[in-house]
Structure formats: structure tokens, C-alpha cells
Amino acid sequence: MKVVIQRVSSASVTIDEKVVADIQKGLLVLVGIEDSDTQEDSNWLVGKIVNLRIFGDENQVMNLSVAAIDGDIIVVSQFTLHASTKKGNRPSYIKASKPEVAIPLYEKFVKKIEMELGKKVQTGIFGADMKVLLLNDGPVTIVIDSKNRD
């Protein structure tokens, strides 16, 4: 699994001109799933996301997690994170999982974040054409791949 984590002052997801997710201070997490991903990959990423110390403390040092600041999270599925651009100029998405594989893992991923965070996590809709609006705070953007844990 690959995730792009963005620390945000605000973020929202709109589908067919209807806002389906809307948060203030917290994280926007884009997640891409491939066939070789497992529940263990998901659990490891959840631990990283919820406990990643990227929010400022009283001295404005990045020392606090989203849980510590009682922040919110939006999770958005994004198969394009597994784009291969080695050949030509048109990306290939062959590594991205099909919905029948990805949706169950995505849903468990969201539920696990909710358990670890102790509150509801907002989401987009898997496979929908989404408009994601965010105000990146910092900017702070971190990319994590569960297959590369070094």
C-alpha cells in the first residue's frame, strides 16, 4: 500500500457537486492498493498515520500526532498512486488492485484508523470521480510505501 499524507488546515471531498467529507485541522490521506497488499501492510500504515508526529507543539516543533491534537482525517482511495511511468508518457495502472480486491482492504483500513484514532474518519467514495480540495498546512506532505519500511 502507498499513502500520501498531507497535513491540512482544511480539506473536503465533493462528488457530483455534493460535499461528502469536510474537515478542519488534520490529515488528508490518499491511499493506493495493489494486489500484493495485506492486512499487515494496512495495520502498519495505520500505526504510522495515527502516530506520525507532524503537528506543532507549544514551541512549534513537529512533536504531536493527529491523535494528540484531536485532529480529523479524510481517507481517499487513489489507484493512480501505483502508476508506472517507465515506458512512454501514458501511465500504466496495471499494479493497482481491482475493486474486488481493493475495496475490502480499503474498508478495513478506514475502520482500523477509526479504532486507533478513537473517532469517525471521513472518506470519499471508492471509484468515484472526486474533487478534493485542501489547504496544505506547512506545507507538510509525506509519502509512505508499506513495501519500503526502511
Query: Helices (H), strands (E): how many in the chain?
Result: 2, 8
Nearest CA to 6 among 149, 97, 111, 136? 136
The answer to whether the CB of 113 falls within 8 A of the CB of 122 is no
* Catalytic-residue membership of 85: no
- Examine residue 99 and say whether the peptide bond preceding it is cis (omega within 30 degrees of 0): no
Record the cell numbers describing residue 66, joined without a space: 493527529
Give the three-state DSSP class for 32.
Answer: strand
Q: Measured between alpha carbons, how far is 101 from 93 in angstroms, rounded to an integer?
A: 15
From the candidates 80, 85, 123, 141, which is the catalytic residue?
80
The catalytic residue positions are 80
